[in-house]
Amino acid sequence: MSTVFKQKNVLVAGGTGFIGINLINRMLSLGANVRATIHNKAPVILDGSIDYVTCDLLSMEDCKNVVAGMDYVFMCAANTSGAAVIAATPLVHVTPNIIMNAQIMEAAYFAKVKKFVFLSSNAAYPPSDDRLVKEDEMFDADPYDIYFGVAWMKRYTEILCRMYSQKLKNPMPSLVVRPSNIYGPYDDFDPATSHVMAATIRKVIERQNPLKVWGTGDDIRDLVYIDDFIDALVLAAEKIDTYDPLNIGLGKGYSIKQLLEILMEIEECSDLKIEFDPSKPSMIPIRLIDVSKAEQQLGFRAQTDVREGMIKTIEWYKSNVLK
């Protein structure tokens, strides 16, 4: 077990979100002194050792207060949601996130934080058809139109990470990881805001019949289980000391139709009628990422295949959401 974070002061910004919750658990297991930001939601991990700070990261004063004394900052806080919200109100994910990202980075820099970690996105890449997209392709062309605002918000924050890492006299190591679609325990299963895997798992568990799916079902995604992603995130924070983005994923793609087939087999409900609705918004037709750089630099390879990850997520959902 890593000792890098033992007794280090670690801020998890976004302590009630999917990734933040899982990262808090991991950091506690590694012996870190964990501080976590909360905003509109109550804490999920109830441990007296966690320093929860209620704050608004749109406030520069709050950003300064929360990063004070920290060794590591993981920026997991963001305004996020699914395809419908992004399509209907694209600016909701642009302005607030740019402000939060820029302010917390500046505050972390002047607080002399030892390392800053930013979660970017594989959706910010330009269209890549069925190729495995590599890290150095991010700025080769515009992203997909439907993701234009959010993608450029992520890209702009990456530029800030590069600036803080490489363009200042006294740099602050600022890392970037670009995850594929993450799923697992503590995911957002709210139909209004959930992403594809969580939304599909809920529909199958609830035996929605007909089971309605936005799009054609032919969209292809790389899906990485949350425990694997946290493994990679921790390794990156340990081993990378500058802006050198890494794709983190399973390294294999599945269509929505394939995911449904596996889910219904696991749940023994293959008789559900599936209705695809091509008129509803989906995001990117196909996105596959090359994960070889993470394997070379971190020694990381995802260990959880999609079927195993689905089973674990379903078990968690039934025990924690349906209880």
pLDDT band at 40 (very low <50, low <70, confident <90, very high): confident
Rounded to 5 degrees, φ, ψ at 279 are -80, -20
Predicted pLDDT of residue 84: 60
Taking only the tens place, the pLDDT of each residue in 114-145 is: 999 999 999 999 999 899 999 999 999 999 98
Q: Determine what percent of the chain is predicted with pLDDT higher than 90.
A: 80
pLDDT at residue 85, as a whole number: 62
Residue-wise pLDDT tens digits, 25-37 = 999 999 999 999 9
Q: In angstroms, rounded to a whole number, what is the distance separating the alpha carbons of residues 145 and 265?
A: 35
Q: What is the pLDDT of residue 277?
A: 87
pLDDT at 80 over 90: no
What percent of the chain clears pLDDT 70, i.e. is strictly above it?
A: 95
Residue 82 scores a pLDDT above 60: no
- CATH no. of 9-183+223-251+289-303: 3.40.50.720
Indicate the pTM of the whole model: 0.95
Distances (CA, A) of 35 to 42, 48, 69, 110: 15, 11, 10, 18
What are the pLDDT digits (tens) for 176-225? 999 999 999 999 998 877 888 998 999 999 999 999 988 888 999 999 99
**Residue 118: strand pairing partners:** 75, 176
Residue showing tokens 């950003």? 63
**Average pLDDT for 3-22:** 96
SS (HEC) of the chain: CCCCCCCCEEEEECCCCHHHHHHHHHHHHCCCEEEEEECCCCCCCCCCCCEEEECCCCCHHHHHHHHCCCCEEEECCCCCCCHHHHHHCHHHHCHHHHHHHHHHHHHHHHCCCCEEEEECCHHHCCCCCCCEECHHHCCCCCCCHHHHHHHHHHHHHHHHHHHHHHHCCCCCCEEEEEECEEECCCCCCCCCCCCHHHHHHHHHHCCCCCEEEEECCCCEEEEEEHHHHHHHHHHHHHHCCCCCCEEECCCCEEEHHHHHHHHHHHCCCCCCCEEEECCCCCCCCEEEECCHHHHHHHCCCCCCCHHHHHHHHHHHHHHHCCC
In total, the chain counts a number of residues equal to: 323
Question: Which pLDDT score, from 0 to 100, does residue 198 have?
Answer: 92
pLDDT of amino acid 213: 87
